[in-house]
Amino acid sequence: MNTADVLLRLSETDGPSGFEDRVAKEITKLLAPLTDEVARDVMGNVIGVRRCGRPNARRLLLDAHIDEIGFIVTGYDNGFVRFSVIGGVDARMLPARAIRFLTEPPVRGVIMTLPPHILEEADSDKPFAMDALFVDVGMTDEEVRAALPRGTAAVYDAGAVRLNENVICGKALDDRSCFAVILDALERLRGEDLPVDVYVMASTQEEVGVRGATAGAFAVDPDYAVILDVGHGKTPDASGTGLLEFGGGCGVAVGPNMNRKYTDRILRAAEEKGIPHQIEVIPTGSSGTNARAVQISREGVATALLSLPLKYMHSPSEMVHLADMDACARLLCEAVRAAGEVD
């Protein structure tokens, strides 16, 4: 399977934070042939290891999170479902949107809106409040209570499509696209003699506060880490500083949350090998990614952050550029090769 196909498959597999079982199963299948061992920990992280065969080898952790934003049933109102969000959902995007619940088989529903016919013109100036949103699942109150108990999770009823030869558009590309990049890099490194033991972590619960990686990094106890996460691509309504050029190559994050030496080494490799890249400056102590937790795990980890440009983050139609994914995979390979060199 090529990277695009892997991503399409991962996108349509559902796994909101705390409910990652389905996607973890897919990930385990994909990771097994590329690693020596794969296991799942108590937080649900999938962790694989590819050993280099050297005694007392140093450990490099490659991490991308596999959870996605979503919804969760909190109650009922005359047959309609009341819900809350899992992670950062812009409620303005929800009216007249289909979602699917993580039931077997999946129950689908539609988030309700009001018809323009009964609205005043000024009503459109204010978004619907969360408590005015309901999901219609086409059931009676009694049926819905049985079919969708409180605590049932849901995601956008979407997968991903190829918008054109370069662009993939769909849900959960944050951060499955980065996991696809890791798989691609492992494929490229197949058979190569590596300086370190490579641990690959498909981490859970990032969207609700970097929870899976916090426990996972402690367990792996790495010397180095490369976190792969998506970064905001520029769009007409978002073009401020700190945003990435869509199609402009792999973002390399620079700032206090990233180890300066390791980052500089990666940047040097990008220059030397002519890998398309762009610097993403993150002046804050937390990058808002798993790097936040991994960098200060145990006694500290030399952590780098590669950012894949992505437009419309946390929408069901996130977009990534295949050329950017390719650049990220190439640069990740360089980061793995260089891992032993940095003290």
Partner 1 sequence: MLDTLKALCALPGVSGMEDAVRAYIRRRAERCADSVKEDVMGNLIVTKRGTKRSGRKLMLAAHMDEVGLMITDITREGYLKFGCVGSIDRRILLGKSVKVGPNLRPGLIGLKAIHLVPKSERDTVPQVQDMYIDVGASSREEAEKLVRLGDTAVFDETAFTFGRMVKAKAIDDRLGCTVLLHLLESELPVDCTFVFTVQEEVGTRGALAAAFRVKPDVALIVEGTTAADLPSVKTNKRICAPGEGVVIPFMDRGTIYDRELYALLTELAERNGIPWQTKTYIAGGTDAAAVQRSVGGVQTAGIAAAVRNIHSPACVAAVDDLQQVYALAYLFLQEMGARYGSL
Could you give the residue numbers annotated as active site? 206
Residue 71, interface with partner 1 (CB under 8 A)? no
Residue 166, interface with partner 1 (CB under 8 A)? yes
Chain length of the chain: 343
Residue 90, interface with partner 1 (CB under 8 A)? yes
Residue 5, interface with partner 1 (CB under 8 A)? no
The single residue among 10, 34, 60, 107 that binds partner 1, judged by CB under 8 A, is 107
Q: Yes or no: say if 257 and 303 are a contact pair by the CB < 8 Å rule.
A: yes
Q: How many residues bind partner 1 (CB under 8 A)?
A: 62
Q: How far is CA 56 from the centre of its chain?
A: 32
What minimum distance in Å lies between the beta carbon of 238 and partner 1? 4
What minimum distance in Å lies between the beta carbon of 77 and partner 1? 4
What minimum distance in Å lies between the beta carbon of 76 and partner 1? 10
Residue 296, interface with partner 1 (CB under 8 A)? no
Q: Which is nearer to partner 1, 125 or 299 (CB)?
A: 125
Q: Which is nearer to partner 1, 70 or 222 (CB)?
A: 70
Q: How many CB atoms lie within 10 A of CB 136?
A: 13
Backbone dihedral region for residue 172 (phi beyond 0: left; psi -120 to 50: alpha; all else: beta): left
Q: Which is nearer to partner 1, 155 or 198 (CB)?
A: 155
Q: How far apart are CA 342 and CA 31, in angstroms?
A: 27
The single residue among 1, 39, 163, 281 that binds partner 1, judged by CB under 8 A, is 163
Backbone dihedral region for residue 11 (phi beyond 0: left; psi -120 to 50: alpha; all else: beta): alpha
Q: Yes or no: say if 334 and 273 are a contact pair by the CB < 8 Å rule.
A: yes
Residue 193, interface with partner 1 (CB under 8 A)? no
Residue 138, interface with partner 1 (CB under 8 A)? yes
Q: How far apart are CA 37 and CA 145, in angstroms?
A: 42
Q: Which residues contact 12 (CB under 8 A, 6 or more apart)?
A: 158, 159, 160, 170
Residue 240, interface with partner 1 (CB under 8 A)? yes
What minimum distance in Å lies between the beta carbon of 229 and partner 1? 12
Residue 164, interface with partner 1 (CB under 8 A)? yes
DSSP 255-318: STTS-HHHHHHHHHHHHHHT--EEEEE--SS--SSTHHHHTTSTT--EEEEEEEEEESTTSTTE
Minimal CA–CA distance to 262: which of 307, 218, 224, 231?
Answer: 224
- Which stretches of the chain bind partner 1, using CB under 8 A? 77-78, 80, 88-90, 92-93, 95-98, 107-119, 123-128, 132, 134, 136-139, 143, 161, 163-164, 166-167, 169, 232, 235-238, 240, 243, 246-247, 288, 311-317, 319
